Structure 1
Amino acid sequence: MSNPKEIKRRILSIESVIKTTEAMKMISIVKLRKHKGLLKSAKTYYDHIELLLSDFFLTEKKENFEIKKYFLEEGQNSILIIFTSNRGLCGSFNSSIFEKINFFFQKNISLHHNECMFFSVGKKGFDFLSKKYGIHEKNNNWIDWENNFSKVCENTRFLTKKLIFNFIKRNFSSIYLIYNNLKNSLFQETIIEKLLPINVGNFKEKRKRIDYIIEPSKKEVFHYLIPKFISSKLLKIFLESSVTEHTLRMISMHKATENAHDIKNNLVLNYNKERQTSITKEILEIISGLESLKK
């Protein structure tokens, strides 16, 4: 590139990119701090619900029909709930989810995607499912969960009721969750987890068995705990996914800003070289003109 004006125009363009990426980085930092606080509270609540449910399983026999129906996997139809973002520029956050979906069907050869119902939390997941599996909005609704946390809780409770109702009616046999969990700032793990039917092996015996007095009845307590357990788990996973998303976007925008600064420095260096070359050329022309006048 030898045109100083073109180099100057590119420098101004890169400066605009730097301002944008720095602003997006700061927004992600603010959202990350907020969602980390919410996740801490959600984890505390979920741990207590899980502890109560594990105690209930220790005191109640699984042969009880009210409990047994939550452990049975009948039929072939399944539902996959995937947690993606509404926007891009967050590294491999969404692509790792899509790879995990393909891996899920490769691993479960007997299960075809036509036998599954998809539910996407996030626009990116809905767009992927629409293109890949021909899922349309009439049988798949993505939820635009943004900054309104009360709306998040309301949608979680509504989704929990629908899932429990359809599972009890045997409209589908199992529910899988696919989401990203941040192990540390440099490593994310994409997890496939079965939500229903319940796997008792996931409940660790944290206390010694105690014969509790349950009021008003075991049946009512169980039907109260199950929706609380599922909704708190969905909320916890949503917040874990959100924390991972904003962390990866913050890292991506930080790297983008650094790369933009490197490009700008190279352009400034080239601009100075071209400017110096043009000044030297003009000086030589002046000198040669003076020499011709002397002759």
Structure 2
Amino acid sequence: MSNPKEIKRRISSIESVIKTTEAMKMISIAKLRKTKDLLIQVKIYFNYIESILLDLLSTEKYKENSESNKYFLGKGKIKLFVVFTSDRGLCGSFNSSIFEKINHILKKKKYSYNECVFLSIGKKGFDFLYKKYNMYSNKNWIVNNLSNQKIEFLVSKLIFDFFQKKFYAIYLIYNHLKQSLFQEIVMEKFLPISNWKKKTSDYILEPSRKEILNFLIPKFLNAKLLKVFLESTTAEHTSRMRSMHKATENAYDIKHDLILNYNKERQTTITKEILEIISGLESLKK
């Protein structure tokens, strides 16, 4: 059996773990609320700009060589996958499920090694992808420092390389919080944009359809990437909150077991001392 002093030291250590996990849980809850509020606002903006773009594109007359259709045509074989992960661990299967999804996609689609290029947003994804796959950039896009300006810069760079025909298609892979306690991995096409069905109605546009599309589509792509980033961040904070909650519960269970063992050891020691005293008294009587 363990020494009562050793058990007491372990109980003190577990109490420190409980304080740490509870603090991390509260931090995740605060960040989750802030991110959810921002995500709701971005979704409202995204839905409006998407509806405007859908309505405009539904009347667009498709021409193969039209410059206004450059967002809808992809040529070549190389595909770019933008992967959203976290910078830190302690968030359950948030990152590992992304990595499993990547391996599953490559095996199912039977993409060759040279056909796929990866861009990681998050340190964990960069560490995983850098050793195995072709990288779009050696730069690590850190989640905590990813501002709106950096997202706009990244989108403009992706659009430029897509126009230069470096990529046939660009996909986003991220964690989507489907329900409050359920997440799923989503692979969503970013470019080229799908060409929607045409309507019989038409609009008179000023200055021109081409200029409006060239202004509106980058705004739409910025909003889409920002929405996906916030959805991934929301899923990360939710996953970390759940992990810290489970860790706290497990720590309380361990503490409870240690307290029981400590009391048993202490009771055994007291009983042993009483027996020694009684034995000593009986020897004195003799």
If the length of structure 1 is used for normalisation, what is the TM-score? Answer: 0.92
2:222 aligned residue (215, 219, 231): 231
1:256 aligns with 2:247: yes
Deviation at 1:139, TM superposition (A): 3.1
Aligned match for 1:194, one of 186, 189, 193 = 189
- Within 2, Cα distance between the matches of 1:11 and 1:80? 47
RMSD: 1.7
Tell me by how many angstroms 1:294 deviates: 1.1
The answer as to 2:162 corresponding to 1:167 is yes
Name which of 274, 277, 285 aligns with 1:283: 274
Within 2, Cα distance between the matches of 1:134 and 1:56? 37
Q: Find the counterpart in structure 2 of residue 93 from structure 1.
A: 94
- List aligned pairs for 1:121-140, cutoff 5 A: 121-133=121-133, 135=135, 139-140=137-138
Count matched residues: 285
Distance, in Å, in 2 between the alignment partners of 1:114 and 1:142 is: 21
| Corresponding letter in the other structure for 1:195 | F
TM-superposed CA distance for 1:11, in Å, is 0.4
Counterpart Cα distance in 2 of 1:281 and 1:3? 14
In the alignment, what sits opposite 2:11?
11
Match of 1:217 in 2: 208
Query: Which residue in the other structure is 1:157 paired with?
Result: 152
Deviation at 1:67, TM superposition (A): 3.3
Q: State the alpha-carbon separation in 1 of the partners of residues 5 and 75 from structure 2.
A: 70
Cα gap change, 1:259 to 1:159, in 2 (>3 Å): same
CA distance in 2, matches of 1:263, 1:185: 28
- Describe the superposition over 1:61-105 as per-residue Cα deviations: whole angstroms up to 9, x where unpaired: 121612332222211111110000001111111011101111111
CA shift, 1:273, in A, is 0.5
Q: CA deviation at 1:22?
A: 0.2
> Structure 2: which 5+ residue stretches go unaligned?
none
Pair 192,41 (structure 1): closer, same or farther in 2 beyond 3 Å: same
Letter in 1 for 2:186: I
| Whole-angstrom CA distance in 2 between matches of 1:280 and 1:73 | 82
Report deviation, 1:215: 1.5
Please give the alpha-carbon distance, in whole angstroms, between the structure 2 residues aligned to 1:123 and 1:231.
22
209-218 vs 152-161, greater mean Cα deviation: 209-218
Secondary structure of 1:82 counterpart: strand
Deviation of the 1:160 alpha carbon? 0.7
- Report SS of the residue matched to 1:281: helix
Flag structure 1 segments of 5+ consecutive residues without an equivalent: none
Deviations 1:118-145 (A, max 9, x none): 111100000000233375xx93322112
- Deviations 1:228-263 (CA, angstroms, capped at 9, x unpaired): 011100000000000001011101100110010000
User: 1:209, CA displacement in angstroms?
Assistant: 5.8
SS in 2 for 1:53: helix
8 Å Cα contact 1:55-1:209 kept in structure 2: no
1:53-92 pair list within 5 angstroms: 53-63=53-63, 65-92=66-93
Residue by residue over 1:128-174, the C-alpha shift from the partner in whole angstroms, topping out at 9 and shown as x without a partner, is 00233375xx933221121x6xx520111001100111111101111
**Greater CA deviation, 235-244 or 70-79?**
70-79
**Over 4 Å off, 4+ runs:** none
Compute the displacement of 1:112 (Å). Answer: 1.9
* Structure 1 residue 210, shift from structure 2 partner: 4.4
3-state secondary structure, aligned to 1:199: coil
- Opposite residue 292 of structure 1, the aligned amino acid is S
Indicate the residue corresponding to 1:273 in structure 2.
Answer: 264
- Provide closer, same or farther for how the CA distance between residues 160 and 12 of structure 1 changes in structure 2, counting only shifts above 3 A: same
Question: Deviation at 1:30?
Answer: 0.2
Decide which moves more: 87-96 or 114-123.
Answer: 114-123
Q: Which AA in structure 2 matches 1:114?
A: N
Residue range with higher mean Cα deviation, 56-65 or 23-32: 56-65
2:173 aligned with 1:178, yes or no? yes
Q: One-letter code of the match for 1:144?
A: I
What is residue 52 of structure 2 aligned with on the other side?
A: 52
